[in-house]
Structure 1
């Protein structure tokens, strides 16, 4: 009986170690500032996350914002461990995030420039890119230059709509941050925003749990660590500074185009419907519907311009697709990876 229990325990331990992935975060310096790099790895691969396996494609995870402008790699904490069973998985956070650097060069365009230098240092030979929300701005910049790493595919989830009407909407949302930045920075520095920031974190945490609280593979430890890092005064000030310069990043990205020879998949959710339902004024509803329609037009245009491009509309009103439906993204990457291997 004792031997049987030991055997069951060993089988159970093997199963857990094979299914679950661990993360490892570290910092790398680019042009005098640090960025956080996080890799997930599965013990079934019997490898450390920094091991360079030339046969293993890398999936690069780049994030953008949700309602509260939080835009770090916490949004990938459900997707990344699942991807790590099959790929090298790397999430990179922008300068000023997770590093407590008050002098970090901020923004998505800057991040794209940082990635151009950082990716070769990570010894990534071939990669699939998944970009959520505004991350497409950084991807535009990243792929505007010469890169030794082979980009096998790009998958965008509700990317920023780089057409005039939508750009003006985004700029309007960011304008209060730009106009009042000095006052906001002082307010945060005095600790007066701390309770509000924590409240936003708590709301977002509950939302993530409502999406998939029962998935045992979700890396909640990473979510909690990342959410806690958001609350430092420097991180909060960097967030507001980045929002204030968001309009400049949009203008630059609008003049750039993605390479046409890279397969592109664009996911378009109905997350805008949540805003429409919560809006009372008819004029505001019309504006939101116009934004949604322009998004569909832009996403289809991106897909049409790419070799093997695909536009996928989802009925889901959940914006955080990496949390709500990771299997859809995994299947997409698998299909793109199989095609690249042919």
Structure 2
């Protein structure tokens, strides 16, 4: 009983801190959940502010190589899309400006989004996911109550449920975090990784400034991006990042059970070539990485074809395509909204 009380007090303290002490950026709003709130950032043309919108765009983020994943990754793509469309960028709990939770995961994000999406102002949603947030996207499609509200999915460099991919995804660093989480969390609480986290954030910001084309630098919301970066530095978020990596295996296990090739909604896939530098630098794992890359390409094409979606291959070797290839992504998403595919009846 004492343990439960302490756990409740910790959760309450975390929620109060997240919900009352953080100043939200312009366009942001918190949507309540049973255990906290999700941060949703709305950007849209002024002309659409009071209009009925049939389909809005929802953006959800996955991780880069440092496992940072939040709405900062849409600091360019969302403003570009918002020139024409109603757009929502959403942070899962323990990410960005959302409240903290004790066990963050992509599974939980799907459950939370199922509660929040019906509250947003649109009849349907085109759900755009990056990297591992394809787990959340797929689980939402498997929810019959939400699937009817989805005009389609756009998966940008998604996780793929193939044999080679699982061998890589369940290896380092995910296996290391699972094995060491109990020891790591108290060390993080002492600030052991504060300097390391700050250095990674500085390196990431420098890299982003390098890969955003010069003509798009003014359209990138650098202020918003850096505001989100500040939240990553907090010790509670360093701990949440570690927990989420440890939870990744369970996320994947559920993800892999989904009948991907029988999607209820059209699934479009964008494949960059971020694997190329990894393969070039590899030694022992080169063959496995090459197989992962080819299986992923084949899977993405089959998924798009089978579900009535579309497939876009980009030669870009950056993983953060939302910055390096934002115009191409915006054009692709615009084409999907202009000529949507018909929703298919899934074979169950």
TM, length-normalised to structure 2: 0.85
Q: Is the 8 A contact 2:37 2:93 kept in 1?
A: yes
Q: How far has the Cα of 1:340 moved from its partner?
A: 3.2
Q: Which among 259, 263, 269 is matched to residue 260 of structure 1?
A: 263
In the alignment, is residue 301 of structure 1 matched against residue 302 of structure 2? yes
Distance between the aligned counterparts of 2:275 and 2:295, measured in 1? 12
Cα pair 1:34 1:99 within 8 Å, conserved: no
User: Where do 1:229-268 residues align within 5 Å?
Assistant: 229-258=231-260, 260-268=263-271
Query: For the Cα contact (< 8 Å) 1:56–1:88, is it kept in 2?
Result: no
What residue ranges of structure 2 are gaps of 5+ in the alignment? Answer: 1-24, 343-348
Tell me the distance in 2 between the aligned counterparts of 1:260 and 1:100. Answer: 29
Deviates most, 224-233 or 123-132: 123-132
Residue in structure 1 matching 2:28, options 19, 25, 28: 25
**Distance in 1 separating the partners of 2:112 and 2:75:** 23
2-side partners of 1:46 and 1:298: how far apart?
37
Distance in 2 separating the partners of 1:235 and 1:99: 11
Q: Aligned in 2, Cα 1:291/1:341: closer, same or farther, shift over 3 Å?
A: closer
Q: Within 1, Cα distance between the matches of 2:238 and 2:168?
A: 23
* Alpha-carbon separation, structure 1, partners of 2:100 and 2:294: 39
Q: Give the aligned partner of residue 223 of structure 1.
A: 225
SS, match of residue 147 in structure 1 = helix
Q: How far apart in 2 are the matches of 1:124 and 1:233?
A: 36
In the other structure, the counterpart of 2:115 is 117
CA shift at 1:300, angstroms?
1.8
Mark the CA change 1:137 to 1:54 in structure 2 (over 3 Å): closer, same or farther: same
Deviates more, 1:324-333 or 1:107-116: 324-333
Which residue of structure 1 aligns with residue 14 of structure 2?
none
Q: Paired residue for 1:39? A: 42
Quote the Cα distance in structure 1 between the aligned partners of 2:85 and 2:100: 34
Change (3 A) 1:339 1:102: closer
Match of 2:80 in 1: 82
**1:278: Cα distance to partner?**
2.2
Tell me which stretches of 4 or more aligned residues in structure 1 moved more than 4 Å: 99-102
> Which protein shows a greater Rg?
1
RMSD: 2.0
**1:182 offset after TM fit, Å?**
1.4
Does structure 1 residue 292 correspond to structure 2 residue 293?
yes
- SS of the aligned residue for 2:227 comes to helix
Q: Distance in 2 between matches of 1:274 and 1:237?
A: 29
Deviation at 1:318, TM superposition (A): 1.2
Alpha-carbon contact 2:75-2:220 (below 8 Å) kept: yes
Residue 265 of structure 1 aligns to a residue in which SS?
strand
Query: What's the CA shift for 1:101?
Result: 4.9
Aligned 1:1-342 pairs, distance under 5 A: 23-43=26-46, 45=47, 47=49, 53-55=51-53, 57-99=55-97, 101=99, 103-147=101-145, 150-173=149-172, 174-212=174-212, 214=214, 215=216, 216-258=218-260, 260-279=263-282, 281=283, 283-307=284-308, 309-340=309-340
Q: Distance between the aligned counterparts of 2:194 and 2:111, measured in 1?
A: 31
Q: How many corresponding residue pairs?
A: 313
* Alpha-carbon distance in structure 2 between the residues aligned to 1:97 and 1:334: 28
Q: Is the 8 A contact 1:36 1:94 kept in 2?
A: yes
Equivalence for 1:5 = none
**Aligned with 1:141: secondary structure?**
helix
Contiguous gaps of at least 5 residues in structure 1: 1-21
Residues 42 and 81 of structure 1 are in contact (CA less than 8 Å); yes or no, is this contact kept in structure 2? no
Change over 3 Å in CA distance of 1:278–1:160 after alignment to 2? same
